[in-house]
A = this chain, B = another copy of it.
């Protein structure tokens, strides 16, 4: 590989001058700068990052630990949010996936330490509480889509309650006023907060809480669980007779579509459907398109990176807002 000295020899200057040119030091005469740039061009020289890092004692590396317990593809946006900023600021985002069976968090942190990461973003694949090993305290760390109970680390999570309030309010404003909420399981924080949000919307609109029924639904990829959700949804429609159904996540909504269709009802006409996530292409795939609250993954990724970039030290507890993506399901 061609080094800074090769360039210097080729340009007929001291190698330090080449270094100056690379680093935009203004104390290089235009004539020399030109010579150097020409030599760089001709030799195809590229500075060696590893050498720069050792000498500068700065790595420019930011770690991103993706706690991939769930295979939720759209969370990729979390990474993208951070990565776009990293690229922009000429930093390296070192992404490490950890999961229970394969790579431990310890291993990932160790790896990042060896690379002298200047900060770590720890991101969970769904909004939840996490418990981090103590080594994290050695380097600035920020949590995305999760939080720690001690409040020891800054964090950003989706504003679940406000999202639920907003979509419920939107339903109410469109005249739907008897709503069944097929919520996520309440051991998930999002479910508890969304419940509050929905109730708040009803209270704000001075609607009777009797017209809101909230149930937890079991989520699982196994086929058995699907039919449970479906049966429960069908029962609920027949007994409670809602004019709209709010679903805890888009996949639940898809199931409800099938149930509604099987009952001979038309989504968006006979019954409204709303949801949370904006999960990949799913909402635009069903007919009619599913109105859903989009998770602010990209924004959370950006916020987290920015927090580190700005070398903040406060213990921020930030929330990020969902976006209502309106289609035709209500």
Contact = CB atoms under 8 A, between A and B. Distances in A.
Given A221-B281, A221-B284, A287-B230, A114 B46 contact: yes
Nearest to A58: B50
A83 B97 contact: yes
A285 B254 contact: yes
Count the copies: 2
Given A226-B287, A258-B286, A258-B287, A54 B46 contact: no
Interface of A: 1, 44, 46-51, 53-54, 59, 71, 73-74, 76, 80, 83-84, 87, 92, 94-95, 97, 102-103, 110, 113-116, 138, 221, 223, 226, 230, 251, 254-255, 258, 261, 280-282, 284-287, 289
Contacts of A87: 103
> Which 3 pairs of residues, A with B, have the shortest CB-CB distance?
A73-B73, A50-B53, A51-B54
Contacts of A226: 284-285, 287
24 contacts: A44-B138, A46-B110, A48-B114, A48-B116, A49-B50, A49-B114, A49-B116, A50-B50, A50-B53, A50-B59, A50-B116, A51-B54, A71-B280, A73-B74, A73-B280, A87-B103, A221-B284, A223-B284, A223-B289, A226-B287, A254-B285, A258-B286, A258-B287, A282-B285
